Amino acid sequence: MGLGPSPAPTTGSDALSWSERWAGAPCTETDPDLGFPEGTRTYPNSPRIVAAKKLCTNCPLDLREACLEIAMAAEGTLIADGRFGVYGGLDPHQRAQLAARRTAVAS
């Protein structure tokens, strides 16, 4: 299995299996270390993070958005140092900024 998103809980007869849901996502056929390079958490422009983000651009938009939302829901309001990997084309810093913007808008 690749670095793709963790499966979201599914219920009901219309729910797709994980493999059906993420079919076509290029990250599912990629080395998981690409999206989670050790020691690069604080370096958003590292070559491996840039490569993982580029892989995300090849993903269908609906899957990329779903991947991002799964990560955002799991991470909540964590600061960037509490986040890991690339999800939905965003690195930990970008997801922390997005979470802060969403929190500000909701207040």
- Tell me if 12 is assigned to some domain: no
Give the mean pLDDT of 7-22: 59
- Tell me if 13 is assigned to some domain: no
- Tell me if 3 is assigned to some domain: no
- Tell me if 8 is assigned to some domain: no
Range of the domain at 68: 18-106
From residue 61, give the alpha-carbon distance in Å to each of 48, 58, 100: 22, 9, 23
Percent of the chain with pLDDT over 70: 75
- Tell me if 90 is assigned to some domain: yes
Burial class of residue 69, CB neighbours in 10 A (0-12, 13-18, 19+): middle
What does the radius of gyration of the chain's CA atoms come to, in whole angstroms? 14
Query: pLDDT tens across 38-65, in order?
Result: 654 556 678 888 888 999 999 989 899 9
Helix, strand, or coil (residue 39): coil
- Looking at the structure of the chain, the number of domains it has is 1
- pLDDT computed for residue 37 by the predictor: 67
- Tell me if 42 is assigned to some domain: yes
- Tell me if 11 is assigned to some domain: no
Average pLDDT value over all residues in the chain: 79
- On the question of pLDDT at 8 being above 60, the answer is no
